[in-house]
Amino acid sequence: MRRKVEGYIFDLDGVLTNTSEFHYLAWKRIAEELKIPFDRKINENLKGVSRHECLRILLGERNPDSSLFEELLARKNSYYRDYIKRITPKSLLPGALNILDCIREKGGRIAVASVSKNTDEVMTMLGIRGKFDVILDGYSVKKTKPEPEQFLLASKMLSIVPGCCVVFEDSSAGIEAAKRAGMLSVGIGSSKRLDSADLVFNGLDKIEFNSMLGKLERF
Ligand SMILES: [Mg+2]
C-alpha cells in the first residue's frame, strides 16, 4: 500500500537558512583564540552536532577543566548570537518559502527540529515562525542527532506516525537519525555526503514538490 506523507520535519541550519556560516565563523574565532588549527574541512564534522560535542571535536586531545570548557561554550554562543543579529527574511535559503507553501496547500503539518538553542529567535528573525506547527530546539531533548529522539518527539507532537513523516536534513547525522526514527529522508546538499538519504537535492529550490512527493510515497 502506498504511504501518505503528512508530516514534514525540517532541520534549520543548512536547510532553511545558512546560520551554518555563522557557526563556522564563531568556531573559527574560538579556534584562533586557542591557537587550534581549524578550516572548513574540519567544520564539516561539526554539522548537525550539539555545541558541547562540537567543542570536544575542536579540542581533540586537549582536555580543559570543566569551568574553562563551560566558559568556551558560552563564549562560542555569544559570538554566534552576535553574528545572527544580521539575520533577516532575506537570509532564508532559496526555495524555502515555496516548499512551506506547497506543504500547506497539500494539508501537511510542519515541524522544525534543530539542535540549535537559538532556534526560536532565528525562526522569528527569518519571519517564518508562524508557518510551523511544532518548533523543537536544542532544549527539547537530551539525546541529539544521530539519536532519533527529537524526530520521534516531532512526530508525536504533529500527531503523525513516523512512517508518514519526511525529514529534510543537510547533515549525515540528521539523515541517520531520520532512518533510526523510521522516517523518510531528503538530504539537502551533496549526494556524495548524504548518500544514505532516500532522495538528495542540492537545495530546496531544486525540489519539484509533487514529483518529490510521488517518489517518497512509493518507497
Ligand atoms: Mg543542519
112 and 202 together in one domain? yes
**Ligand 1 centroid – CA 71 distance (Å):** 24
The span from the CA of 62 to the CA of 64, in Å, is 6
Q: How confident is the model at residue 2 (pLDDT cuts 50, 70, 90)?
A: confident
> Which has the closest alpha carbon to 48: 113, 142, 135?
113
68 and 113 together in one domain? no
In a domain, 1, yes or no: no
Q: How confident is the model at residue 115 (pLDDT cuts 50, 70, 90)?
A: confident
Q: How confident is the model at residue 21 (pLDDT cuts 50, 70, 90)?
A: confident
Task: Give per-residue pLDDT as tens, 55-87.
Answer: 999 999 999 999 999 999 999 999 999 998 999
- Looking at residue 83, what is its pLDDT? 92
96 and 183 together in one domain? yes
- Looking at residue 116, what is its pLDDT? 86
In a domain, 206, yes or no: yes
**Ligand 1 centroid – CA 187 distance (Å):** 10
**Ligand 1 centroid – CA 179 distance (Å):** 16
Q: What is the CATH number of the domain that holds 34?
A: 1.10.150.240
Task: Give per-residue pLDDT as tens, 142-191.
Answer: 998 899 999 999 999 999 999 999 999 999 999 999 999 999 999 999 99
| 50 Rama class: left (phi>0) / alpha (psi -120 to 50) / beta | beta
The span from the CA of 218 to the CA of 130, in Å, is 31
CB atoms within 10 A of CB 45: 13
80 and 108 together in one domain? no
The total domain count for the chain is 2
Give the end of a domain, one of 84, 112, 132. Answer: 84
Give the end of a domain, one of 53, 68, 84. Answer: 84
Quickly tell me which residue has 510551523 as its cell: 132
In a domain, 41, yes or no: yes
48 and 111 together in one domain? no
**Ligand 1 centroid – CA 170 distance (Å):** 5
- Looking at residue 20, what is its pLDDT? 78
In a domain, 58, yes or no: yes
Grid cell in block for residue 105: 496547500
Q: Which domain holds residue 44?
A: 19-84
110 and 44 together in one domain? no
In a domain, 213, yes or no: yes
**Ligand 1 centroid – CA 1 distance (Å):** 32
137 and 79 together in one domain? no
80 and 97 together in one domain? no
201 and 140 together in one domain? yes
Active site residues: 11, 13
- 8 membership: H or E segment, kind and range: strand 7-10
101 and 186 together in one domain? yes
179 and 119 together in one domain? yes
pTM: 0.85
Task: Give per-residue pLDDT as tens, 182-219.
Answer: 999 999 999 998 999 999 999 999 999 999 999 999 99
Q: What is the CATH number of the domain that holds 167?
A: 3.40.50.1000
The span from the CA of 90 to the CA of 94, in Å, is 9
**Ligand 1 centroid – CA 76 distance (Å):** 18
- Looking at residue 128, what is its pLDDT? 97
With a cut of 80, say whether residue 136 has pLDDT above it: yes
- Looking at residue 28, what is its pLDDT? 97
60 and 97 together in one domain? no
- Looking at residue 50, what is its pLDDT? 86
**Ligand 1 centroid – CA 16 distance (Å):** 9
Task: Give per-residue pLDDT as tens, 22-49.
Answer: 999 999 999 999 999 999 999 989 987 8
- Looking at residue 1, what is its pLDDT? 66
Give the end of a domain, one of 84, 111, 138. Answer: 84
